Structure 1
Amino acid sequence: MDTAKLHWEKVIKRPDFGAILIATVLFLGFATLDYDGFFNAFTMRNVLHFSAILGLVALGQTLVLIVKEVDLSVGSVYGIGGISYILFEPQLGVIGAATAVLMGAALIGLINAALILRGKLSAVIVTLCGLFFYRGAIYLMTGAGVPRFATEARQHWFNQLLGGQAMGIPNSVWIFLLVALIFHLLLTRSAFGNQLYAVGGDAPSALSRGVRNDLIKTWAFVACSVLAAFAGILTIADRPQTYVSMGYQFELEAIAAAIVGGCSLRGGRGTVLGAILGALIIVSVRYQLVGMGAPSSWFITFVGVLLISVVVFNRLLGVWIYGKQPAAE
């Protein structure tokens, strides 16, 4: 009996417990109210694909939130990553373009980290500037046009691999799950993961124990930008044309997914499973509302209600478990 009680207490204390609960209730609701409309091959393929795309960006955002920072530029990095992948291909080839995009994204992460950590600037200000700068660069690069891959590039094995499917499931999903597994192992089975949580939970204490706080945060920002750009590449591989608004407000969905998944703006909290479930919840609700014929404003409203509900739920759960009011988000 005591063992079972301890097990459930451990589950309830997980940062992603709220996401697990919401996902369970949500999918039970979909199954009850609109099983055929939601649980069909076409809808599920799209939900899984776009959950994988959002999940990659949310995973990067989770890393940054764990170290008590935030990156508002990921939507624009996602967009410019996908667009650059198409525009660089004629000169560099498919593999060369993908490599250049990921290297450029790593540089963006390094610049963000340098301005924040060395320049002592606010992460909100630095990444907000990045959001506008890279969004403007997208318009300059495309001339407000719609760039697309040539036929040869679309048929390249790399794009066929990223944009194909296996066992009826988009390869983007398999790739995302592989990336998620790697980061799960990093966060739970490595010194890097321990240091990441230590920096976000208590930076002075981590520093006193020899943790190089700035280096850990730098890696978080770099990984965040690279994952966002890689998500852009996956999107283009699946749908080999782009648009100037690609990734517009995507940073808000990524942050929402991370917070729904159990991250805290106070740092030190967050899991890979939470990022996966947060992305799945956000995308599933969008598709269900579209299927119901609801206006797009309903989705925005739902995300707002969901966010405040999750924050309140986690606060009440903290009071119930620990018997005290947690610090404000």
Structure 2
Amino acid sequence: MNTKNIRRIISVLLVLILAVIFSFTTRSFLDARNLVELFRESALVGIVALGASFVIIGGGIDLSTGGIVTVSGLVCARLSFIPGIPGALVLLAGVLTGVVCGLLNAVLVTRVHLTEFVATLASGFVYSGLAMLIAFREGGIIQSRAITNASFTFLGGKIGGIYNITAVWVVLMIVMMLVLTKTTFGLHTYAQGSNARSALMSGVNNDFIKGSGFVICGACAGLAAAFVVAKNAAAPVTLGSDVAFEAIAACVVGGLVLGGGRGDAVGAFLGGLFMQLILNGIYKYNLPIAYQWILMGAIIVLVTAFDAQFNKLRFGQKKPRPVERKEAVV
């Protein structure tokens, strides 16, 4: 069996094992309502993780997704108060906001030549600041105003008992899986993440691949923000808090390697589900919030450590060649 498929099976088993543990140790975990809500709550980080997977597989990292989610959500909230504006147009505006943010990240990395870490960390602060500038205020104090635009809040609802954002998450995972495995763009993304210099010598436009990854990541963050704002009918300035790090953690838990070149959209999907599964199950134990975060962090460390050992066995550990010592000629 292909080792990539083995890693996918392991990710599925990790999710199932947690689900079994929580189902036996809590009362309401397997309730249909809880499962539907679990997938809805997973979708925010899950969709962002799908976008981040393109950046990570390509050998980069994006720390700005939390800020993108926040500013995109505030843009959607602002536009939703325009009388008669269609919800689809508000959704499109959220996605385009994410695209613009991702494009700025791409420029900073490929044209200004900042490192991904510095560029996206700084831009994330900028996007969060912009969100605060356009936030609703009453008496000079930031307030979260309730959204009443029915055509927009409809997007946050259900169809056939399944939330729209959950359906979008699943469809997006399938599309991105096909892009990564069946297109030249996906092949070049893996090539760049595996060895950027070799990819460049083979004719891969590294700047285009890297920049496109940031744009895709931004678009996904904007899309997720729009659906979450539509569901909550509000856009607080804390909307994107911790999303960036949770999305990266989801990718790592799902088998993506931060060095690039490994992983796929299915892993990012399962990682996003795994992250929310932990929170959902732990919450039902009624533990203090401090212990919830400690337990969550410990589980992530254990899974990541396991993944490191798995990759070590899968790819082997290359030993350096011994240096041959030549005798001096007298």
Q: Does 1:80 align with 2:71?
A: yes
What CA distance in whole angstroms lies between the structure 1 residues aligned with 2:316 and 2:165? 43
**Corresponding letter in the other structure for 2:61:** V
Q: 1:166-191 CA distances to partner (integer Å, 9 max, x unpaired)? A: 33221211111111111111011111
2:34 partner letter: T
Q: Which has the larger radius of gyration?
A: 2
Other structure's SS at 1:195 match: helix
Which residue, 262, 273, 276 being the options, matches 1:269? 262
Aligned match of 1:43 in 34, 46, 50? Answer: 34
User: Helix, strand or coil for the counterpart of 1:38?
Assistant: coil
Q: Which of 5, 15, 27 is 1:23 aligned to?
A: 15
Report the CA distance between 1:9 and its aligned residue: 4.9
Q: Structure 2: which amino acid aligns with 1:264?
A: V
Aligned to 1:251: 244
User: Taking structure 1 as reference, are residues 125 and 264 closer, same or farther at Cα in structure 2, changes over 3 Å only?
Assistant: same
Equivalent residues of 1:261, 1:278 under 8 A apart:
yes
State yes or no: 1:318 paired with 2:311. Answer: yes
Is 1:32 aligned to residue 30 of structure 2?
Answer: no
Deviation sequence 1:19-60 (CA, Å, 0-9, x none): 2232122112123322x4201133212211011221101111
Q: Confirm or deny: 8 A CA contact 1:74 1:228 kept in the other structure.
A: yes
Query: 2:44 is matched by which residue type in structure 1?
Result: I
Separation in structure 1 between the aligned mates of residue 3 and residue 104 of structure 2, nearest angstrom: 42
Q: 1:294 aligns with which of 287, 290, 299?
A: 287
**Aligned partner of residue 28 in structure 2, secondary structure:** helix
CA contact (8 A) 1:18 1:260 kept: no
Q: Give 1:278's aligned residue.
A: 271
Tell me, in whole angstroms, the C-alpha distance in 1 between the residues paired with 2:224 and 2:312.
Answer: 37
Q: Match for 2:39: what amino acid? A: L
Whole-Å separation in 1 of the counterparts to 2:197 and 2:102: 23
- Aligned-partner Cα distance in 2 for 1:322–1:72: 28
User: For residues 165 and 223 of structure 2, what CA distance do their matches in structure 1 show?
Assistant: 11
Q: 2:181 aligns with which of 184, 188, 198?
A: 188
Structure 2: which amino acid aligns with 1:229? G
Q: In structure 2, give the amino acid aligned to 1:48.
A: F
- Which of 141, 161, 165 aligns to 2:158? It is 165
Name the one with the larger helix percent: 1
Q: Which residue is equivalent to 2:323?
A: none
Alpha-carbon distance in structure 2 between the residues aligned to 1:171 and 1:102: 16
The structure 1 residue matched to 2:211, chosen from 203, 215, 218, is: 218
Offset from partner CA, 1:76-96 (integer Å, 9 cap, x none) = 111111121010223482333
Structure 1 residue 10: Cα displacement? 5.5
Say if 1:299 and 1:65 are closer, same or farther in 2 by CA, change over 3 A: farther
Deviates more, 1:309-318 or 1:269-278: 309-318
The runs of at least 4 consecutive aligned structure 1 residues that moved more than 4 Å come to none
The residue that corresponds to 1:3 in the other structure is none
Match of 2:58 in 1: 67
> Partner letter of residue 257 of structure 1?
A
C-alpha change, 1:207 and 1:44, in structure 2 (3 Å) is same
Question: In the alignment, which of 147, 150, 156 is matched to residue 149 of structure 1?
Answer: 147
- Would you say the 8 A contact 2:246–2:275 is kept in 1? yes
| Alignment root-mean-square deviation, CA | 1.9
**Among candidates 38, 41, 47, match of residue 56 of structure 1:** 47
Within the candidate set 201, 212, 216, 2:194 is matched to 201
Does the aligned pair in 2 maintain the 1:83–1:242 contact within 8 Å?
Answer: yes
Alpha-carbon distance in structure 2 between the residues aligned to 1:278 and 1:259: 7
How far off is 1:8 after superposition? 6.6
CA distance in 1, matches of 2:263, 2:3: 18
Shift of the alpha carbon at 1:323? 3.9
Change over 3 Å in CA distance of 1:325–1:260 after alignment to 2: farther
Change (3 A) 1:279 1:139: same
Taking the aligned partners of 2:247 and 2:311, their CA distance within structure 1 comes to 24
Separation in structure 2 between the aligned mates of residue 273 and residue 265 of structure 1, nearest angstrom: 16
The answer for the alignment partner of 2:5 in structure 1 is 11
Q: TM-score, normalised by structure 2?
A: 0.88
